[in-house]
């Protein structure tokens, strides 16, 4: 009798264990199914660009439109740009003449104003006598030997000086094919630069101009493109 009762209890225990085992297996299978149904998202693998596309992407990224030329080219902002550079040069007339001609020649205004700053500190009457007896005069410090057809009055005439100075700089940009080479040619002469004889003083000269230019552009972006003061031309045109 006791044996039978024990046997019944053992059967019940075994049955219970088997039932619990089935539940565990089912839970494990369910968890496995759930994991299989919702796999983690794998990161997207992008095909690498070929060398030609990499080079094109890099070159495109460094080609940026000139903010000063863009705003000056829009009638809604032209006066504001002129006032900004008039404040820097101390002469609205000089600023407007330089801006008008740089826009026509598609030369960076900030580069030109930095160049004039270095050459003459915006003084139309500036004079520098060289060791070879030539004389640099005016805003762009045009050299008497390089421009023999100009009279002393021409050199000090802001309109004439700006026209010849920008024409000469444009030639240097076309010949040098970079702003650094152009500035070197402007200071040391085209032949000297091409022959590899650029002096150290010219390198320092270029460095100062590029530093001035950076400062001008930073101030310009701060003053002339602040929200509410100077919206982008496209937005303003839609109003």
Strand spans (E) along the chain: 127-129, 135-137, 142-143
pLDDT value of residue 17: 44
pTM over 0.75: no
CA distance readout (Å), 62 to 58, 59, 116, 193 = 7, 5, 26, 25
pLDDT value of residue 6: 42
CA distance readout (Å), 225 to 61, 68, 159 = 21, 10, 29
CA 86 to chain centre: 24
pLDDT value of residue 227: 59
Q: Coil, helix or strand for 121? A: coil
Q: How high is the mean pLDDT of the chain?
A: 82
What 3 state SS string does 212-233 have? HHHHHHHHHHHHHCCCCCCCCH
Residues facing 128 on adjacent strands? 136
pLDDT value of residue 199: 94
Q: Which parts of the chain register pLDDT below 70?
A: 1-49, 52-63, 226-239
pLDDT value of residue 224: 84
pLDDT value of residue 13: 46
pLDDT in tens, 102-111: 999 999 999 9
């Amino acid at each position: 009798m006791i044996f039978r009762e024990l046997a019944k209890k053992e059967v019940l225990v075994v049955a219970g264990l088997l039932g619990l085992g089935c539940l565990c297996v089912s839970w494990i299978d369910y968890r496995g199914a759930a994991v299989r149904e919702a796999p983690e998202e794998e990161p997207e693998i992008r095909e690498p660009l070929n060398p030609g596309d990499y080079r094109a992407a890099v070159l495109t990224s460094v080609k940026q439109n000139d903010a000063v030329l863009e705003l000056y080219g829009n009638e809604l902002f032209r006066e504001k740009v002129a006032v900004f550079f008039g404040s820097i040069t101390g002469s609205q007339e000089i600023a407007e003449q330089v801006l008008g001609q740089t826009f026509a020649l598609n030369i960076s205004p900030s580069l030109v104003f930095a160049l004039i700053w270095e050459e003459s500190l915006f003084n139309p009457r500036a004079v520098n006598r060289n060791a070879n007896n030539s004389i640099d005069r005016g805003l762009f410090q045009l050299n008497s030997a390089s421009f023999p057809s100009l009279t002393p009055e021409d050199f000090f005439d802001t309109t004439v000086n700006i026209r010849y100075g920008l024409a000469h700089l444009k030639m240097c940009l076309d010949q040098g094919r970079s702003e650094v080479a152009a500035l070197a040619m402007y200071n040391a002469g085209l032949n000297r630069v091409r022959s590899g004889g650029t002096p150290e003083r010219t390198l320092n000269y270029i460095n100062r101009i590029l530093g001035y230019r950076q400062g001008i552009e930073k101030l310009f972006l701060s003053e002339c493109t602040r929200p509410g003061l100077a919206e982008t031309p496209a937005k303003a045109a839609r109003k």
